[in-house]
């Protein structure tokens, strides 16, 4: 099964089973799911979470409880600007500078409360939390198909903010954990922790991308992301 066929199957399954949650439909996005708060709670109980001072999270709805939990635990949260399209491609959420964690961690609130930052202004990342459409028990992940989560990791690696030892995690519904995830490409970031409302799976993970795969990016896509233009010129 190819990745898009798998995405469609998982999106359909979440919708038909009644396990999808707002926003609807789940198709074409990182799907929100019943039990997202419980999955976040399981993540916060892990040693990897408790040891982390800085967390990079995706901005999608199912990871909203993760972002809120991070701020409440005093962790600095970084979120990438969608499609890395901004001159300052990340937003920093500082728990000491924010008075409304619930508002600050919504999609709109990230821009309102977050401080625009360049990678040079960021602290080293201890934990990366990614959204997924599907994932298997050995940490191979399928996103919604645009590749930005993997590209964000590659950009951060270019600034020595992450490495092979950086913990990567995803929170998903149990129905999103499937056996038939296609073999990952070299630029795909494996997940070290797969967390559902019911369990935590510590996967074998695997080596993480060493940097940007420039051969996988055409000029048009690079020009749309100022940070890639800068890195290409180095």
Q: What is the mean pLDDT of residues 175-187?
A: 92
Task: Provide the pLDDT for residue 183.
Answer: 87
Q: What is the mean pLDDT of residues 147-164?
A: 94
CB-side exposure of 27: number of CA atoms within 13 Å? Answer: 9
Task: Provide the pLDDT for residue 7.
Answer: 98
Q: What is the mean pLDDT of residues 201-214?
A: 86
Q: What's the pLDDT band for 205 if we cut at 50, 70, 90?
A: low
Tokens linked to 163: 């490495």
Task: Provide the pLDDT for residue 1.
Answer: 67
Dist CA 28 CA 144 (whole Å): 6
Task: Provide the pLDDT for residue 233.
Answer: 80
Query: What is the pTM for the complete model shown?
Result: 0.96
Dist CA 167 CA 6 (whole Å): 25
Look-up of token digits 């030892």: 165
Backbone phi and psi for residue 210, each to the nearest 5 degrees, phi listed first: -85, -10
Dist CA 194 CA 177 (whole Å): 8
Backbone phi and psi for residue 119, each to the nearest 5 degrees, phi listed first: -55, -35
Q: Which domains does the chain have, with CATH numbers?
A: 34-233 (3.40.50.10420)
Per-residue model confidence as pLDDT tens digits over 50-101: 999 999 999 999 999 999 999 999 999 999 999 999 999 999 999 999 999 9
Per-residue model confidence as pLDDT tens digits over 101-139: 999 999 999 999 999 999 999 999 999 999 999 999 999
Per-residue model confidence as pLDDT tens digits over 10-47: 999 999 999 999 999 999 999 999 999 999 999 999 99
Q: What is the mean pLDDT of the chain?
A: 95
Instruction: Please report which helix (H) or strand (E) contains residue 219, including its range.
Output: helix 219-223
Instruction: Please report which helix (H) or strand (E) contains residue 78, including its range.
Output: strand 76-80
Dist CA 228 CA 212 (whole Å): 9
Better pLDDT: 210 or 127: 127
- The CA angle 192-183-203, to the nearest 5 degrees, is 20
pLDDT for 185 beyond 90: no
Dist CA 166 CA 87 (whole Å): 25
């Amino acid at each position: 099964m190819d990745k898009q066929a798998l995405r469609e199957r998982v999106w359909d399954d979440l919708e038909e089973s009644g396990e999808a949650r707002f926003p609807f439909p789940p198709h074409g996005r990182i799907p929100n799911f019943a039990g997202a708060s419980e999955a976040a709670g399981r993540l916060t109980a892990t040693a990897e979470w408790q040891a982390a001072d800085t967390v990079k999270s995706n901005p999608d709805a199912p990871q909203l409880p993760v972002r809120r939990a991070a701020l409440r635990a005093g962790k600095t949260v970084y979120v990438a600007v969608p499609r890395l399209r901004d001159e300052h491609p990340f937003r920093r959420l500082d728990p000491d500078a924010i008075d409304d964690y619930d508002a600050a961690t919504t999609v709109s609130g990230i821009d309102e409360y977050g401080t625009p930052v360049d990678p040079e202004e960021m602290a080293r990342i201890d934990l990366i939390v990614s959204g997924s459409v599907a994932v298997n028990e050995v940490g191979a992940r399928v996103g919604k198909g645009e590749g930005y989560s993997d590209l964000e990791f590659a950009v951060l690696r270019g600034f020595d903010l992450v490495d092979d030892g950086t913990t990567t995690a995803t929170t998903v519904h149990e129905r999103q954990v499937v056996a038939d995830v296609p073999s990952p490409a070299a630029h795909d970031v494996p997940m070290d922790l797969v967390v559902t409302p019911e369990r935590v799976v510590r996967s074998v993970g695997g080596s993480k991308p060493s940097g940007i795969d420039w051969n996988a990016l055409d000029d048009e896509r690079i020009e749309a992301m100022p940070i890639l233009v800068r890195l290409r010129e180095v």
